[in-house]
């Protein structure tokens, strides 16, 4: 038992709050415990608990500060086992704020410190933490070695983490049987009541299901994860919501997707978690012709590079190549050209297909390849109608529309133009009109008006809906509950409405809605 009765009671209450997902309350309780702790060992242990509490509550910098203090205290005390465990935790915290070299160094030092220390659970923990960092950095082979070794040590409390990351490493390397390891890890975590590992397993599954375009299964994971985190403060694990937003973007619900991912632009740009949130708003800015596109592309690219996240880099590089295609600047395909060789291994076929398709539009001599997903393969072969059909089956209207216009068939191109107009894809719609004229179509439909007398600010349908609710006096929390959105999403929608209306307050926005047109 740590400390005397008052300290023990504070720690017990903090652990119970953290287990229930009430991380802000747990942080306050650990802070109280630190104030009454009397020894360096007690303070070190409390800082380790506090680091994890900050981490799961999505306060990444707080986690690092607590983790570094724990390592300092453990180093002063001189016991290698607690020091190795503190270094293992710190490695994950450092990774989360994109201090990649420091994270790798801490993870390696933890394993080295514990190799001959005689504490099997501590070594297993260090190996698991190192596997987490390595697999997230796309160093799957090295991560798999660590995960396998941790599992051979057979520490039950750590087996879920080892199984989850062994499975993810295998699946990222192109072995779909890795899914079974992840499922086994989640099932074991549920049996031994480790909620954080359960959530971690579902987040990893979501990431892989997105990577392999298994969208129906992904929707199931999103729903399941929401059930676990509802009413808790497991904000870090709510990053699974970014995959729901990406699905919305894929299916043409652009305004909703953009609003739901803008959290990545808050504060430090999302840190490691930003790799999930930042690429899609940059891509959508390109597709809508937003003046924000260059800045969002740069922000997303910087984050993806700092995170050493190849999947995020591929999305941003593809968006930059798309921008180059739309404005006639082939130089914007530079990132895509540089990344293409890195996508030639197993498990990277979809990323290679996406890069290749945009490079082909830029005039690069790329071709179809074995294992290329059919929607990309058909386009690379020049079979536009087949590509459009696959994109339609996927439910991706923008990609389908581009293939229809590229088909060279006036009727198909007109259909594609109509889809682009409906989406608000102004740059691609302008390209489509030029292509139709080149095909000899005399009556090319005019584009939609940018604004109307009834909606002079050009608000989206969702923004108009939210503006009406704001005018009715509803708070963002009430609006979120009524529309089944997150409060964060409503916050971003309200901010966008105020910006478009050119007003600073909700009251002024309400007045703008009530003002007669004209």
Secondary structure of 16-52 in HEC code, one letter for each residue: HHHHCCCHHHHHHHHHHHHHHCCCHHHHHHHHHHHHH
CA distance 256 to 500: 16
CA distance 374 to 405: 19
> Which of 300, 309, 225, 226 shows the shortest CA–CA distance to 265?
300
Cβ(127)–Cβ(150) below 8 Å: yes
User: Where do the domains of the chain lie?
Assistant: 5-186, 461-514
Cβ(199)–Cβ(233) below 8 Å: no
Of the pLDDT bands very low, low, confident and very high (cuts 50, 70, 90), residue 518 is: very low
CA distance 53 to 58: 9
> Which of 400, 401, 503 shows the shortest CA–CA distance to 459?
503
Residues linked to residue 452 through DSSP beta bridges, in sequence order:
455
**Rounded-to-10 torsion of CA 349, 355, 361, 365:** -70
pLDDT tens digit sequence for 358-387: 999 999 999 999 999 999 999 999 999 999
Which residues have CB under 8 Å from 395's CB, separation 6+?
A: 215, 250, 251
Give the other-Cβ count within 10 Å of 218's Cβ: 23
Residue 436: what pLDDT? 95
> Which of 88, 154, 162, 158 shows the shortest CA–CA distance to 126?
88
Are domains 5-186 and 461-514 of this chain identical in fold? Answer: no
> Which of 306, 315, 310 shows the shortest CA–CA distance to 277?
315
Model pTM score: 0.84
Kindly tell me the burial class for residue 371, based on how many C-beta atoms sit within 10 Å of its own C-beta (0-12, 13-18, 19 or more): middle
**Rounded-to-10 torsion of CA 282, 267, 133, 240:** -60
Residue 265: what pLDDT? 80
pLDDT tens digit sequence for 213-266: 999 999 999 998 888 876 665 655 667 889 999 999 999 999 999 988 887 787
Structure tokens at 484: 């089944």
Quote the DSSP letter at residue 452: B
CA distance 508 to 358: 44
CA distance 362 to 261: 28
Share of the chain above pLDDT 70, in %: 93
Residue 484: in which H helix or E strand, if any? none
CATH architecture group of domain 5-186? Alpha Horseshoe (1.25)
Residue 453: what pLDDT? 43
CA distance 107 to 118: 18
The pair phi, psi for residue 316, each rounded to 5°, is -70, -40
Residue 15: what pLDDT? 85
Residue 6: what pLDDT? 81
The pair phi, psi for residue 264, each rounded to 5°, is -65, -20
Residue 370: what pLDDT? 95
Cβ(164)–Cβ(201) below 8 Å: yes
Q: Across residues 82-99, what is the average pLDDT?
A: 95
Sign of CA dihedral 151, 155, 158, 163: positive
Cα distances from 448 to residues 108, 180, 396, 445, 457, in angstroms, run: 58, 50, 21, 9, 15
Residue 450: what pLDDT? 53
Which residues have CB under 8 Å from 47's CB, separation 6+?
A: 34, 66, 67, 69, 70, 73
3-state secondary structure of 455: strand
Cα distances from 228 to residues 195, 240, 489, in angstroms, run: 8, 12, 20
Q: Across residues 158-181, what is the average pLDDT?
A: 97
Q: What is the largest CA-CA distance in the chain?
A: 87
CA distance 289 to 504: 25
pLDDT tens digit sequence for 438-497: 999 988 998 776 554 456 566 766 788 888 888 888 888 888 888 867 777 788 788 778
CA distance 248 to 258: 9
**Rounded-to-10 torsion of CA 104, 105, 109, 112:** 60
Residue spans of alpha helices (H) in 212-309: 215-229, 241-250, 254-261, 274-277, 279-288, 293-306
Residue 517: what pLDDT? 47
Multiple choice CATH, 461-514, 3.40.47.10, 1.10.3210.10, 3.90.1150.10, 1.10.10.10: 1.10.10.10
Residues linked to residue 455 through DSSP beta bridges, in sequence order:
452
Share of the chain above pLDDT 90, in %: 67
Q: Across residues 119-145, what is the average pLDDT?
A: 97
pLDDT value at 339 more than 80? yes
The pair phi, psi for residue 252, each rounded to 5°, is 90, 5
Cβ(470)–Cβ(497) below 8 Å: yes
Q: Across residues 109-134, what is the average pLDDT?
A: 96
CA distance 391 to 385: 10
pLDDT tens digit sequence for 267-303: 655 688 889 999 999 999 999 999 999 999 999 999 9
Cβ(387)–Cβ(403) below 8 Å: yes
Q: Across residues 386-413, what is the average pLDDT?
A: 97
Residue 295: what pLDDT? 93
> Which of 148, 114, 115, 118 shows the shortest CA–CA distance to 131?
148
Q: Which of 55-64, 144-153, 177-186 has the lowest mean pLDDT?
A: 55-64
């Amino acid at each position: 038992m740590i400390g005397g009765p008052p300290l023990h009671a504070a720690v017990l209450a903090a652990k119970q709050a953290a287990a229930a997902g009430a991380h802000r309350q747990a942080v306050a309780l650990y802070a109280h415990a630190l104030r009454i702790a009397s020894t360096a060992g007690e303070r070190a242990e409390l800082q380790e608990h506090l680091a994890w509490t900050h981490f799961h509550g999505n306060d990444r910098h707080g986690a690092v500060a607590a983790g570094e203090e724990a390592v300092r205290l453990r180093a002063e005390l001189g016991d290698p086992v607690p020091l190795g465990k503190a270094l293992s935790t710190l490695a994950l915290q450092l990774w989360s704020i994109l201090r990649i070299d420091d994270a790798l160094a801490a993870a390696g030092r933890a394993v080295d410190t514990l190799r001959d220390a005689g504490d099997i659970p501590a070594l297993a923990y260090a190996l698991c933490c190192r596997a987490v960092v390595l697999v997230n950095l796309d160093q799957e082979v090295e991560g798999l070695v660590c995960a396998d070794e941790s599992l051979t040590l057979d520490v039950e409390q750590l087996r879920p983490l080892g199984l989850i990351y062994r499975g993810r490493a295998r699946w990222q390397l192109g072995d779909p049987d890795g899914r079974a390891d992840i499922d086994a890890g989640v099932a074991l975590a549920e049996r031994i009541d480790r909620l954080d590992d359960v959530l971690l397993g579902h987040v990893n599954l979501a990431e892989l299901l997105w990577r392999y375009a298994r969208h129906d299964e992904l929707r199931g994971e999103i729903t399941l994860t929401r059930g676990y985190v509802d009413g808790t403060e497991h904000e870090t694990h709510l990053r699974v919501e970014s995959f729901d937003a990406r699905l919305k973007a894929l299916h043409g619900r652009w305004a909703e997707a953009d609003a739901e991912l803008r959290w990545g632009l808050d504060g430090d740009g999302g840190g490691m978690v930003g790799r999930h949130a930042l690429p899609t708003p940059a891509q959508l800015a390109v597709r809508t012709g937003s003046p924000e596109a260059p800045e969002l592309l740069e922000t997303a690219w910087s984050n993806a590079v700092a995170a050493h996240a190849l999947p995020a880099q591929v999305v941003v590089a593809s968006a930059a190549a798309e921008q180059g295609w739309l404005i006639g600047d082939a130089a914007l395909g530079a990132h895509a050209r540089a990344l293409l060789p890195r996508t030639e291994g197993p498990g990277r076929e979809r990323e290679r297909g996406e890069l290749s398709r945009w490079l082909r539009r830029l005039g690069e001599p790329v071709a179809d390849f074995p294992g290329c997903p059919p929607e990309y393969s058909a386009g690379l072969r020049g079979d536009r109608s087949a590509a459009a059909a696959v994109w339609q089956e996927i439910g991706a209207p923008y990609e389908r529309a581009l293939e229809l216009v590229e088909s060279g068939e006036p009727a198909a191109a007109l259909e594609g133009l109509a889809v682009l107009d409906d989406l608000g894809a102004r740059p691609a719609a302008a390209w489509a009109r030029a292509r139709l004229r080149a095909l000899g179509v005399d009556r090319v439909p005019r584009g939609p008006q940018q604004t109307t007398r009834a909606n002079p600010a050009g608000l989206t349908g969702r923004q108009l809906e939210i503006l009406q609710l704001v005018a009715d006096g509803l708070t963002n929390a009430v609006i979120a509950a009524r529309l089944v959105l997150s409060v964060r999403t409503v916050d971003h929608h309200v901010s966008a409405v105020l910006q478009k209306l050119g007003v600073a307050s909700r009251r002024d926005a309400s007045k703008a809605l009530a003002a007669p047109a004209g």
